[in-house]
Amino acid sequence: MSNVNEYKDIVAFHPGYYIADIIEDMEVSQAEFATRMGTTAKTLSQLINGRANISNDLAKKLSVMLGTSVQVWQNLQNTYDQKLIEIQQAKDVDEQAELAKQIDYKYFVDVIGLPMAKSINEKVVNLCKFFKVADLRIMLQPDFLVNFRSSSSCNSEKNIINSRAWIQTAMNISKSIETKPYNAEKLKAYLPELRGMTVKKPDEFLPRMYEIFAECGIAFVLLPHLKNSGVNGAVKWVSEDRVVLAMNNRGLDADKFWFSLFHEIRHVLQQKIKTVFISSTVEEMMDINNNLELEADKFATNYLISPADYKRLAPTRYISDDEIIEFANTIGIHPGIVAGRLQHEGVIAQNRCSKLKEKYVIEMKHIA
């Protein structure tokens, strides 16, 4: 081990570096210097070569022998130790740089308000601070936030870190949302009102939706999509009395929005406190009990359009746009949801009913 450590423009001088100079100036051998100092030749050799640190006892002996203060040697040791930390931090940041390049930093500038960064290393530092991690590589660990299927070929490093970055962002934002203790019965009672919002515009229903969820103990976070995350929504319990329900606004067709919302609501009602539910465009990213996912899908499907109502629509025959609108008005739901259901089940072509499928526009900038 050397008594001088360098990395880029950081240089760390071990106290032994200065002792070697003093020995040379005194024109004595290391053995004689060790004798005069009252220590062994081995200890002095380790000190000079940076393999041993200056203890309080050695600092005291050097101060008496050389006419300095004890603090001089303690400060040299402390400075060296601090420089070693700086060197290690610089190396860590450099090693994280490739990982940071896989994250869309501009997203966090636009949406969260992180400062512009002049270098990739500055991005690493800012992202670590925002995600509350000591190292971005921690976000790749299997037990960080949520587990993904390790066998998935779609689970690239880029998918994993961005999905966890999106979830952590939602968790950070949720901290500013005040909620009452979780109340499942209250949430169930509000379901009809939430369903009734499907015929309204986002600027009409969103304020009330936030109120309802907060009243039920749910911190609702609507967050822009993060490139390469593959995550559409997530449900994560913070405690027995508080749960975060997060959704992204990517491709916000009305039918997809409402299906996703009621799907996540069902996950909340399942109340699996130790499970993080992920809704993803990449099926392999989800490592959740498949039965719970199927149950959530069924709930969303049947709550928006009941089996009895859907049967009455007689979806085995040709259905016109006007019939879809009339049916939707009858059951009090957005016609785009009916059209989306028919498309999903292959009753009508994907390119039909485009006029019925409203696309929500929800601006969300600097929301943190």
CA separation for the pair 109, 258 (Å, rounded): 29
Q: What are the residue boundaries of the structural domains of the chain, listed by start?
A: 4-97
Q: The sheet that has 242-248: what strands, in order across it?
A: 218-223, 242-248, 231-239, 277-280
**What Cα–Cα distance (Å) separates residue 220 from each residue in 82, 179, 260, 261?**
43, 10, 13, 10
Please tell me the pTM assigned to this model: 0.81
**E strands along 227-299, which residues?**
231-239, 242-248, 277-280
Q: Is 215 exposed, middle or buried (0-12, 13-18, 19+ CB in 10 A)?
A: middle
What local confidence, expressed as pLDDT, does residue 152 receive? 45
Closest by Cα among 177, 15, 157, 174 to 82? 15
Instruction: List, run by run, the mean pLDDT of 10-residue segments along the chain (368 residues).
Output: 88 95 95 95 94 94 95 96 94 90 95 94 95 94 74 68 95 96 98 97 94 98 91 93 92 87 96 87 58 92 94 78 92 93 84 81 62
Q: What Å distances lie between residue 301 and 135, 194, 198, 232, 307, CA to CA?
A: 41, 15, 14, 17, 9
Instruction: Tell me the CATH class for 4-97.
Output: mainly alpha
H or E element that contains 237: strand 231-239
Q: For residue 76, how far is the Cα from the chain centroid?
A: 40
Cα–Cα distance measured from residue 193 to residue 367, given in angstroms and rounded to the nearest whole number: 26
Residues 360/276, Cβ–Cβ less than 8 Å:
no
Q: What is the pLDDT of residue 42?
A: 95
Q: Read off the tokens for 254.
A: 């009305």
Q: State the pLDDT at residue 148.
A: 62
User: Is the separation of the CB atoms in 23 and 66 below 8 Å?
Assistant: no
